[in-house]
Copies of this chain bind each other. A is one copy, B any other.
Amino acid sequence: MPHSNTIHESLTAVFQVRRFPAEVSAGSGAAGRSRHPELAVLLWERALDPQKGTWSLPGGRLRDDEDLDASARRQLAEKVDVRELAHLEQLSVFSDPDRVPAPRRIASAYLGLVPLTTEPELPPDTTWHPVSALPDMSFDHRTVVDHARTRLAAKLSYTNIAYALAPDTFTMSTLREIYCAALGYDVDTTNLQRVLSRRKVITPTGDTAPSGRAGGRPAALYRFTDSGLRVTDEFAALRPPT
């Protein structure tokens, strides 16, 4: 009976831009918290073999009565309140016959995003890790994180996906921190504001943020124009007729 033992599972890389205490962060400052927020991924520690003590992405076995999207959401609900997920999308399928010890498991990988200001309650075995300093990870889960990060960086460049990492309203300074964290390199605030405004990805709310301790001019607040994912710069020449 070939195939009879194959299991199908979901695995989700849930990302959030977060600040970490200095001791767990690779790019940290001296003040006990990292100077800049970092991209973080939600992991749980395996209490049992195989690979006891390694860290895994949330996920698990597909049930007979659900499809994969429903399964991914159900598995995530055990780790984090899924209402806090602003975005969930399928990545690719990981199907190497030897990716885990037998029985074979085919994993459908997902990318999930949680906004900056959300603080989900987590079970005791689960915590956020900066992607710059991942712990020893289970099986091929680090590869799934790499895929998810690559997809996120690509979509930051041609969609409005950052809405799912940002608070409802934000200053350009905060938005820049989110882009820098998610991309892993520095981005200029003025350029970011110019390109996102020109493409109508963000809109000024008309309000300003309360002044910080340093005083100075109050910063303008922005919001994302759309709350669903869209390609922000399709070729104008290729737009469908209206």
Contacts and interface: CB of A to CB of B under 8 A. Distances in A.
Interface of A: 2-8, 61-69, 90, 92-93, 95-97, 104, 106, 108, 154, 156-158, 179, 183, 185-188, 191-192, 194-196, 231, 233-238, 240-241
Given A2-B64, A3-B61, A8-B106, A194 B93 contact: no
13 contacts: A3-B7, A3-B62, A6-B6, A6-B62, A64-B97, A65-B97, A67-B95, A106-B106, A154-B234, A157-B231, A158-B158, A158-B234, A194-B237
Given A108-B93, A195-B236, A3 B64 contact: yes
Contacts of A104: 64
Nearest to A238: B157
A155 to B, nearest CB: 10
